[in-house]
Structure 1
Amino acid sequence: MIVIRLLRLFVLCIPFYFTFTGTSYASNDSKELENSLSEIGYTSVHQALQDSNKHFNRTISLPIQLPPVPFTHNYGRFNNPEGKLNDGFEAEYFNKALSENHYMIRVRPVENRIKFKKGFIDQTFKLNDENTAIYSTKASSVINLLIFEKDGWQYMLSVDKRISNKVTSEILVEIANSIK
């Protein structure tokens, strides 16, 4: 029940993080978790990507590299609320036994990009394709973000701050550079 409440809180109130209580859940709760995620629009990453590509009539390329921490689940979602401003793709990777192992990819068209104030930017990086990425530990109290643009999309990669020693800004840049 706590998982369902946290998921709903995340979807409704907290746009940039997704966390669990740290409790290890029994396998019979996995079906309940899947049902809860399905109720709020999550499907497989592949299906969400197909839905997004069809909606935007162009292809979103995903990184082929993942953070070097174990994940037990991954889900995707195509967001299509009223209007076009918040349309986008999301992929979430998490470990139900290790709540800190949480990674998320958000992709939106650059014309609807989210802008970050200079005060929230810790570092900038030059990606292999010569685009600039910004890294922020200040935009959120629970996640670190790498934000960049590629092929008409704004990408936001986020990881839980509790694994920032394992998933550094440099690793997020490597992940960004793995998009082909």
Structure 2
Amino acid sequence: MAIPRLTDSYFEDHSRRVGYKTVNEAIKEFEKDCNFEVKLPTLMPKIPFTHEFGSLNNENGIKNNILEILYVNRKLKGNQFKIEIRKEETHFDGEIYRLHDGKNGIYFEDHLFTYLVFEQNNLQYQIGLDKKVANQDTVKVLIEVADSIK
């Protein structure tokens, strides 16, 4: 039995089979379910991405209350950036940073990503950058991305 080649179309088909949609499909469904307009950053981390996917997740038994957008580079495994948007606020512990609009963001790390969590447009945003591409300016990069959401 031959092993399938990981072409872009195979990668995209596999992603759909495991529940990912296009970003636009996921945003429209989230906006409909949560009755909020989603704004995405106009500035992204300066690393190359080959694909973007969206998915909807359930938390605390509430259907589709988390929108996840994932930017990946199929050839560079560490080039990952993700955005999670929630209607309900979730508490996070971490270091507090001031955003340009005067609101606070909370910076923290897990074993794979560095994150910044903040409120914008009545939604909670959690943006994360893979630690493999993180550097000493990661907080600055995440704050710049956060500040580009209007």
- TM-based fold match above 0.5: yes
- Larger relative helix fraction: 1
- Larger relative strand fraction: 2
1:68 is displaced (CA, Å) by 0.3
Tell me whether 1:165 sits opposite 2:143 in the alignment: no
1:21-40 per-residue CA deviation (whole Å, 9 max, x = no partner) reads xxxx95x5322221221122
1:41 is displaced (CA, Å) by 2.1
Tell me whether 1:135 sits opposite 2:107 in the alignment: yes
1:19-78 per-residue CA deviation (whole Å, 9 max, x = no partner) reads xxxxxx95x532222122112221111121111111111201111111000001111112
State percent identity of aligned pairs.
Answer: 31
Which residue does 2:57 correspond to in 1?
Answer: 79
- After TM superposition, which residue ranges in structure 1, 4 or more long, deviate above 4 angstroms? none
Equivalent residue letter for 1:88: I
Of 78, 96, 114 in structure 1, the residue corresponding to residue 90 of structure 2 is: 114
The runs of 5 or more residues in structure 1 that have no matched partner are 1-24
Question: SS of 2:124's equivalent?
Answer: strand
Judged with a 3 Å threshold, the aligned counterparts in structure 2 of structure 1 residues 166 and 85 are, in CA distance, closer, same or farther, namely farther
Q: Structure 1-normalised TM-score?
A: 0.74
CA distance in 1, matches of 2:73, 2:136: 15
Question: SS of 1:179's equivalent?
Answer: coil
The runs of 5 or more residues in structure 2 that have no matched partner are none
Determine if contact 1:159/1:167 at 8 Å carries over to the other structure. Answer: no
Determine if contact 2:21/2:53 at 8 Å carries over to the other structure. Answer: yes
RMSD, aligned α-carbons = 2.2
Equivalences, count: 147
